[in-house]
Amino acid sequence: MLKQRIITGLILAPIAIGGIFFLEPLAFSWFIGFVIAVGAWEWANLAGFSKQVERFGFAACLAVLLYASSFIDVKYVLGVSVLGWLFALYLITQYPNKTQIWSSRFKRLLIGVFVLVPAWNGLVYIRGAELTGFQYQGQSVSSLWLILYIMFIVWGADVGAYFAGRTWGNKKLAPSVSPGKSWAGVYGGLATIVLFALGASLLLEMSLNNTFILVAFTLITGAISVVGDLFESMLKRHRGIKDSSQLLPGHGGILDRVDSLTAAAPVFTFLLIIAGWLV
């Protein structure tokens, strides 16, 4: 299993990095759109639609919705996503109670729209936007680095949680949803990304005020990424499956790899827009 995870990771990493840094904005939107469409194919099964015609049908419909959403002011799409993830946190805290709110197949399918579409909008907006007010060695900082920064938030929170959880993880975070996660893991993950944010601040020679904002945004995004992970775990537990699919040997499915990112990307992008850092 570990060997499979390493091999798959070594294959996926250069594809992801290449997609971020070497594709033009339109090609990047198609690249991310394809990943999201595959995620939609998996989500249909997560919602309880197991027939291939149903799963491909949902993936096709979601692709159309991605295109349609590009004509809506991104702030509205991302703002709705922020509210949606706060509601998701509420549902997680109530599980296994109040599942009637979301347990029907069509409701779970609709939830997939609100999870996947804003994630695409957030990443695509960053790719085409400009990062204002920041320079490195006299040069403007490309917004491309923000996409990588979001990924490092997600990875850092995950890695920090793993080691802190193994060392001090006695008090469980949400045992009915994901028994392996602990509060110590959350704190360890958040501490890791705070150090990462401070390192980025030093590298860019940020003012104290901007450093505080970056750390705050990073913490919020890291916390929401945990919600994204838990939310998919809750849906998988309700569905009675371990992985969203078997597309990625050793890793499960696309959703299993990007569940945290689908929450982190729209929230972080929204915060940067509100702060005036992205135009």
Contact 42, 50 (CB under 8 A): no
Is residue 170 over pLDDT 90? no
Q: Give CA–CA dist 221/196, Å, rounded.
A: 13
Give pLDDT, residue 9: 59
In 3D, which of 228, 274, 29 has the Cα closest to residue 114?
228
Domain boundaries, the chain: 2-275
| Whole-number percent of the chain with pLDDT over 70 | 94
Give pLDDT, residue 2: 43
Residues 248-275 have pLDDT tens digits of 776 688 998 899 999 999 999 999 999 9
The confidence band for 6, taking pLDDT boundaries of 50, 70 and 90, is low
State pTM to two decimals. 0.94
Give pLDDT, residue 130: 87
**204 compared with 136, residue with greater pLDDT:** 204
